[in-house]
C-alpha cells in the first residue's frame, strides 16, 4: 500500500494536478480534531471548495463551503491560493465522522471530488503526531516524530509530490532522513530547509497517513504572507451568538452615552447652583450696603 501511495504521489507530481489530491485514511481520536489538506489544480484557484459528508459521492451532503457558514460550529475551511491547497478542520470528532469528500465546484459542469476515510477510535490513534503544525527556518532543520501502533512500511511524502520510504532521500531539494530506534515511533528529519520547503506533508505507515504542515521562514518571528481565505465557524456557532455579541456592544455604547449625559447634567446643575448662590450673595451684599447708607 505504501509503495502504491508513493507511486501515485510521484505520478501526480510529474503529470500535474488536474483534480484533487488528499489523504487516503487517517486515524483520529473521538472528541479530538483533525485538519485535512486538499490539493487542487491551478484552474480551480477561484472556484468554490467544500467538504462533503458521506460514503457515496452521489448522496453525500455539504458539511462546509468556502462561500457560506456552517451552523453546527464543527468545521473550518481555508483556501490557500498560493499553495493551491484548501484545508478542512473537523472538531469534536465522533464515530459518524468516517466518510468525507474534498470537492471543488466546476462552474456548470459536474463537481470534482476525492474521498478520504477517518478511522475514529476511543483510544490512542494508530498513527499520530504531537502537532500538525511545525515551523523551521531557512538553512535549518526540523524533526517530526510519527507515533504508530501498526506494522508496515514507513515513509514521509509531500502532498501531491514525491516520497522518501527508505532511511534517507530528498524532497524538492530538502534532505530527508528517517530513523526508527523504537518500533512504535519513527522520526523524520528535514534539513537544509528553504522557504520552498513550506507545505503539507504526510507521515505514512501501512495504509494510514497523518498530514503535517511545515512552515519555513527567513528568521524567528518572521511572518510569511499567504493568500488564505478562511471561513471560521468556531468562534460563532450560530446567529444567536452574533446577535448577543451585537446587543452587548449596543448596551455598552448606551451605558457610556448615558453616563456622559448624566455627568453633563450634574455639572450643569452645579454651575446653576453656584450662579444662583453668587446672585443671592451679591443681592444680600447690595442690601447691606444700602442699609448702611441710610
Tens-of-pLDDT digits for all 294 residues of the chain? 343 444 333 333 333 334 899 999 999 999 999 999 999 999 999 999 999 999 998 899 999 999 887 777 899 999 999 999 999 999 999 999 999 999 999 988 889 999 999 999 999 999 999 999 999 999 999 999 999 989 999 999 999 999 999 899 999 999 999 998 888 999 999 999 999 999 999 999 999 999 999 999 986 654 544 556 666 444 333 333 333 433 443 455 556 677 777 778 787 777 777 777 777 776 666 655 555 555
270 φ/ψ sector (left φ>0, alpha ψ -120 to 50, else beta) = alpha
Give the phi and the psi of residue 250 in degrees, each rounded to 5: -65, -40
The model scores a pTM over 0.85: no
Torsion angle defined by CA atoms of residues 232, 233, 236 and 239, in that order, rounded to the nearest 10 degrees: 120
d(CA 57, CA 115): 8
Beta bridge partners of 36: 88
CB atoms within 10 A of CB 239: 10
Q: What is the Cα gyration radius of the chain?
A: 31
Amino acid at each position: 500500500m505504501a509503495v502504491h501511495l508513493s507511486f501515485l504521489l510521484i505520478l501526480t507530481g510529474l503529470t500535474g494536478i488536474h483534480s484533487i489530491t488528499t489523504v487516503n485514511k487517517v486515524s483520529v481520536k473521538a472528541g479530538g480534531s483533525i485538519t485535512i489538506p486538499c490539493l487542487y489544480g491551478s484552474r480551480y484557484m477561484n472556484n468554490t471548495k467544500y467538504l462533503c459528508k458521506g460514503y457515496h459521492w452521489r448522496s453525500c451532503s455539504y458539511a462546509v463551503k468556502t462561500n457560506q457558514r456552517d451552523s453546527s460550529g464543527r468545521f473550518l475551511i481555508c483556501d490557500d491560493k498560493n499553495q493551491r491547497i484548501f484545508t478542512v478542520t473537523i472538531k469534536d470528532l465522533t464515530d459518524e465522522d468516517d466518510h468525507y469528500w474534498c470537492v471543488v465546484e466546476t462552474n456548470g459542469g459536474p463537481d470534482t471530488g476525492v474521498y478520504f476515510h477517518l478511522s475514529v477510535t476511543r483510544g490512542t490513534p494508530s498513527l499520530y503526531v504531537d502537532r500538525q503544525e511545525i515551523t523551521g527556518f531557512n538553512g535549518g532543520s526540523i524533526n517530526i516524530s510519527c507515533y504508530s501502533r501498526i506494522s508496515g512500511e514507513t515513509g514521509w511524502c509531500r502532498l501531491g509530490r514525491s516520497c522518501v520510504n527508505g532511511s534517507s532521500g530528498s524532497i524538492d531539494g530538502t534532505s530527508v532522513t528517517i530513523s526508527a530506534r523504537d518500533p512504535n515511533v519513527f522520526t523524520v528529519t528535514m534539513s537544509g530547509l528553504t522557504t520552498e520547503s513550506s507545505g503539507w506533508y504526510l507521515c505514512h505507515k501501512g495504509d494510514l497517513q497523518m498530514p503535517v504542515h511545515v512552515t519555513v521562514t527567513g528568521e524567528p518571528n518572521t511572518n510569511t504572507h499567504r493568500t488564505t481565505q478562511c471561513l471560521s465557524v468556531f468562534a460563532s456557532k450560530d446567529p444567536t451568538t452574533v446577535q448577543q455579541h451585537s446587543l452587548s456592544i449596543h448596551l455598552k455604547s448606551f451605558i457610556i452615552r448615558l453616563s456622559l449625559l448624566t455627568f453633563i447634567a450634574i455639572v450643569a446643575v452645579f454651575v446653576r447652583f453656584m450662579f444662583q448662590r453668587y446672585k443671592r450673595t451679591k443681592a444680600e451684599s447690595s442690601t447691606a450696603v444700602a442699609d448702611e447708607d441710610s
